[in-house]
Amino acid sequence: MSAIIVSDLYKSYGNIRAVDGVSFEVKKGEIFGLLGPNGAGKTTTIEIMEGYRKPDSGGVSVLGFDPIEDRYEFKEQIGIMLQSTTLYPDLKVSEILKLFASYYRCSVDNNSLIEMIGLKDKRDAYVKELSGGQKRKLAFILTLINDPKLMFLDEPTEGLDAQTRRVVWEIIRKAPDKGKTVFVTTHYIEEAQNLCDRVAIIDHGKIIALDTPRHLMASLEVEQKIEFVTDSAISVDKLRKIKGVSKAVQTKEGEFVIYTKKTQSTLKELMILAEKEGYEFRGLMVIGATLEDVFIKLTGRRIRE
């Protein structure tokens, strides 16, 4: 069953086509990621789904609702984290949570939310006294306050420290266990790759790829990297002749990187070569392809350029 159906969405601002014919479906209980560089149309797309913006054409159905027509019943059942959330600066954290809880028919215990995200010692602090990261934490737990069926998270971990980012990921990962659906936008490769069941890559308002992270990386035959450190004298030319190697470079004295599409056979041959020539490796690492490589392959650019 589909939690979200987006069909043929267009939205322009003046001459700029922010969303240029986007269609996709998100299944119930899925963690779905929209990955793309800044300005690719992520926020416009998510804000149309949230009912903040009207598309020029095309349709959106979320949990069977029209986000604008059915706005109040729709908002009962979703949680929203905006790209930048502003809350009443002169209210305390606990007051904000109580206030937002009062807007919904049912709400979860806000003490457990505060504890979960690590804001317990800030519950009596005013919003204006919070750091940027603490404000993001508060914005995040507000999306959970009505125990929503679907969460819209626009760049949820932007500006969070590594530890909190892991906590947020952990909470998001558990969401499908309770039947929740998560729609998340991000420009963090790791986030899309580690978190999402499926990822749509968006660039210039168009979806250029959509699949599971694994399939995306496999289908494009993106290269993996083999890195190693050695004291032995190695000729780069010999490395280049190994089967499957498309590129081999010496990055520093004694440090080499090989790019390959056939990791297994390349590794095997590298080992055979090492036996024969008597190379001693001090460290060896295989670095898998990332969605970043997929993005580069598709657009010729890095995602954060």
Partner 1 sequence: MKVLFRQVEVELKLFWRNRISVFFTALLPILMMVVFGYLNQDAKIDNIPYAAFFLPGAITMQVMGSAFENLSVTLTRQREDGVLKRLGGTPLRKWVFLGSKMLTASLVIFVQTLLLIAIGALFFEVKIVGSPLLFFLVLLTGIVTFTSMGFALSGLINSTDTQSAAAHTIQWPMLFICGSFFPIDLLPGLLQHVARVLPLTYFVDPLRAVLIEEQGLGESSVDLLVLLIWMTCCFIVSFKTFRWND
Which residues lie near partner 1 (CB under 8 A)? 50, 52, 72-73, 75-76, 80, 82, 84-88, 90-91, 95, 99-100, 102-104, 139, 142, 146
Sign for the pseudo-dihedral over CA of 115, 118, 119, 122: positive
Residue closer to partner 1 (CB basis): 46 or 291: 46
- Phi and psi of 251, rounded to 5°? -85, -35
In angstroms, the CA 190 to CA 12 distance is 30
Residue closer to partner 1 (CB basis): 159 or 254: 159
**Rounded least distance, CB 88 to partner 1, Å:** 6
Cβ atoms of 172 and 152 within 8 Å: the answer is no
Which residues are registered as beta bridge partners of 24? 6
- Phi and psi of 195, rounded to 5°? -105, -35
Residue closer to partner 1 (CB basis): 143 or 186: 143
In angstroms, the CA 294 to CA 2 distance is 27
**Rounded least distance, CB 120 to partner 1, Å:** 22
Nearest CA to 296 out of 193, 189, 211 is that of 189
**Rounded least distance, CB 79 to partner 1, Å:** 8
User: Which residue is it, tokens 């806000």?
Assistant: 110
Residue closer to partner 1 (CB basis): 10 or 52: 52
Residue closer to partner 1 (CB basis): 88 or 246: 88
Cβ atoms of 169 and 176 within 8 Å: the answer is no
In sequence order, the 6+-apart residues with CB closer than 8 A to the CB of 97 are: 110, 113, 114, 141, 142, 145
**Rounded least distance, CB 113 to partner 1, Å:** 15
Residue closer to partner 1 (CB basis): 143 or 263: 143
**Rounded least distance, CB 228 to partner 1, Å:** 50
